[in-house]
Structure formats: structure tokens, C-alpha cells
Structure 1
């Protein structure tokens, strides 16, 4: 089994994901430095108490997540559940590594490209007004919309909130994982027949109906499992680490 420092892992991940190109709401890479070399890693979507406890039970030296700590839009005081999570990590001596938008956008390991592949589409290019763009566009041979939604339901393990108002057959798919409902109109501008995200917004149904596109939301959590799992698998190969993905179920 190999071993590596948290700083080395962070530098590797930042370079791989081109993290410096993204203006995000939380720090990229190493958010908490552990007290020992890293040999065993647990990966998961969000650094909540259940995932931290699972990592401790498995003797992990580091926790790798998509949603970490220290968000700009949250209070900075480490009280309540925020304080408890940080204390648990520090007491366990575990490192915390997190990548958010860079792991949505990546052209191989990213959540959005992996969703396109789950749908049976070939990724074409990123799109949208984010800089750099994080949503992705894909294309496929004409396929019944129900079949495409079924593929995604099978891959993600849950049925979508779906507003089926697009063509009967899908040729162009747009995706933005997690809370990406705001990219619906950008998907329309790209000529998408189907837009896939994690969560709908209140206006999603009306826009989909009036513009003639199918909108499908499969859950914020479910649409963002793929990237962190894939990054952990790449990390295991690159450094000879033991990496285990742990899913803490979340229907949202």
C-alpha cells in the first residue's frame, strides 16, 4: 500500500481538475490537514456526521468529498453541527479533501460528463455562462425519451421529477448536476431535447412545457456521486492507496 501527504494529494487534484481556473464558494483541495501520512481514504458526496463516522470506523486517514466545509454562503462560526463536524475530523486526525465546481466540470471524471455517459450520450462540449463553463452537452442516436430516462434511473437508483414536454426521441442532452436548474434556458439555447439536473426550481415545469423540452431532476445527491467516486478511483491507481466510496443515502 502506498502513502502520500495531504498536501501532495491536494496539489495533484488541483492540477488534474484545473481547480485554480474556478471561482467557487469553498476552498479547493486540502481543507483540513491530518496528523499522519495518508494510506486509506473514504470518499463520499458530503462531509456530514454520518460520512465522517463511517470514515472513522474504517480507519481512514483522509476523507474525500464533493461538498466539504467553509462555504462562503454559510456562517463562519464553528458552532452547532459545523463545530461538531470539524472537531470530529481533528480528533480523528483525518485530512479533509474537497473539490466542488472543478469536479462538476471535468471532461473525464466530472459529474456532468459521467451523467451523459449514463444516459448513453457522447459528451460534446461544456456550455453555459459560468467561467469556465460547468454544464455539459452531449449527443446520441435518436432514442425514445423514456428509454433515456430509464437508463439514468437505473444508473442513479432513483426516479426523477420529470416534466416530459420535449420531442419523443432525444438527440441532444444537456446536463448540470446538483442545483443546476438555472441552466435550463442555456440548454434550450443549445437546442437540447432533454435537460438533466439534480433539483428542479419552481419555474422549471412552466419553462419546460412552454419551450418544448423535457426536464428531469434525479436528485442533487444522486447526480453528484459519480465524480467523487471516479476521482477516488483515479487517486487509488495514482498513489497505490486504499480508497472506498461510502454512500450516505439522501433522496434530495
Structure 2
């Protein structure tokens, strides 16, 4: 498979052109033309790129790539080292951000629902925030334990004094989705799950009869890029391996 073909096929699959994003999706750093061996990961950090170079990998596919809006444009320090290892080893870097969060079958939000056994019912904030119901209602402690077991990271749990004793209806947004907590509370769910937490998130939780779980930005966004890699392997007979660079946040 050629690098331009991989970019075009995934752009079509994820409908990248229809997303207004803070990062350019697709082929961000061009490497060798022919691709047979691929590594997928959450973020294009140095350790992931080193693994690609060490194993003579043709392409790296990530959720968090480079060249964000307001990012410093200078190629020095950490950015220099990252680009250097890609260029010296002729490795392609592909990144898909928002299109991979919201995709209806491969997206981080859909995959998070599958992992936590949530039946999707609809959207709270289209297309970023989904809502649904646990197939088996749980108390907050049990849901916290389930999230810990499935994602491999203990979530931060905050709750209102009058929050429901049993959690059935939830809304969620992977990654930096805590900004949507007020919309979720107004919608009327029992709990809201995101990757990150902000100072004001705690007050919103306590004052709006809600449970809140911050399950980790990295942990809530592993599944999308992993699923994309599995799709590439199946569709194009590529050698694809997901590499999880541990991140507690």
C-alpha cells in the first residue's frame, strides 16, 4: 500500500474533510512511499517513534499528531528530536484527531461505550457528546471499579450530595471533554464521564445532582486508534501493531 493511498482511504472512511479541527488530519510527515508495517498509538511521542525506528516500521498512525493551532512554529528542542527520528528513518506519520473521536463505528466515544457496556441512545452535544444507558445499573463504587478494570487506570470520582444512588443514564466525551459537563447535567443524566478534569468541573458536579468520572485522556482514547489499525490490517493486509506508551493522565 502506498502512503498516499492510506491517507486517502482513511480520510474517506473518517470523513475528515467534514470536520473542523485544530489539527490537520492525514499524512503529517512524509516517509517512504511503500507501506507494509504500521505502528499505531495515541500520541506521536518520542518513545513511540523510537519503537517505530527500532523495528524498521514504515508508518506511525496516531490520534494526537503535530502542527496544532497556536503551536509554536519553531523546529527545536523536543519537536526537533521527534521530527529528526521520523525523517532520518524515512517513517510516515499519519494523525487523525476529531474525525477519530466522533466516528460512528471506530470512534473513541463509541468504543468507550462498547468497553463499558453502555447502550448508546443518542447525542447530548452533536457530534461530541453521546448519551446512553448501562445495560446493568450500578452504584458509583461499582462503576468506578469497572472503569478501573477496563481502562487500567483508577478514575477520579466526584459527586453531588444528592446524586443518584444507582447510575443508569450516562453521557460521555473522551479526552478533554470535561467542558461539556453542564450540558450533560442539563440533559438530565446520572453521571458524566470524560478523560480530563478542570477546577470548575468539580463545582459543576457538586451543584447539579451528578456523578463525574475523569477516566484519563490517554486511557479514554486508546480504543479509536487501535480500532483504526485493526481496520487497516483487515482491509489492506498490513502488519499493524498497537503500542501503548503508558501515560497516567
What is the match of residue 155 of structure 1?
Answer: 150
Offset of residue 125 of structure 1:
2.4
Aligned pairs (5 A) from 1:62-101: 62-101=59-98
> Which of residues 122, 127, 137 is equivalent to 1:133?
127
What is the match of residue 181 of structure 2?
Answer: 184
Distance 1:146 1:107 in 2: 29
Provide, for residues 86-136 of structure 1, a one-character-per-residue CA deviation record: whole Å limited to 9, x for no partner.
1211111111110001111111111111112222211222331xxx62221
What is the match of residue 58 of structure 1?
Answer: 55
> Which of residues 199, 202, 207 is equivalent to 2:204?
207
Change in 2 beyond 3 A, CA 1:193/1:212: same
How much is the aligned-residue C-alpha RMSD, in angstroms? 1.3
Distance 2:113 2:165 in 1: 18
Distance 1:187 1:208 in 2: 10
Provide, for residues 4-43 of structure 1, a one-character-per-residue CA deviation record: whole Å limited to 9, x for no partner.
1111111111111111111111111111121230000000
Distance 1:24 1:102 in 2: 8
| C-alpha contact (below 8 Å) 1:36/1:93 kept by paired residues | no
Provide, for residues 147-186 of structure 1, a one-character-per-residue CA deviation record: whole Å limited to 9, x for no partner.
2222221111010111033312122111111111101011
Distance 2:12 2:165 in 1: 41
Runs of 5+ in structure 2 lacking a partner? none
Distance 2:193 2:132 in 1: 11
Task: Return 47-56 or 118-127, whichever deviates more.
Answer: 118-127
SS at match of 1:227: helix
SS at match of 2:75: coil
Change in 2 beyond 3 A, CA 1:29/1:39: same
SS at match of 1:171: strand
TM-score, normalising length from structure 2?
0.95
Runs of 5+ in structure 1 lacking a partner? none
Asked if residue 244 in structure 1 is aligned to residue 238 in structure 2, the reply is: no
Task: Return 95-104 or 115-124, whichever deviates more.
Answer: 115-124
Distance 1:240 1:148 in 2: 38
| C-alpha contact (below 8 Å) 2:44/2:62 kept by paired residues | yes
For these two proteins, the number of residue pairs brought into alignment is 246
Distance 1:73 1:124 in 2: 36
| C-alpha contact (below 8 Å) 1:120/1:148 kept by paired residues | no
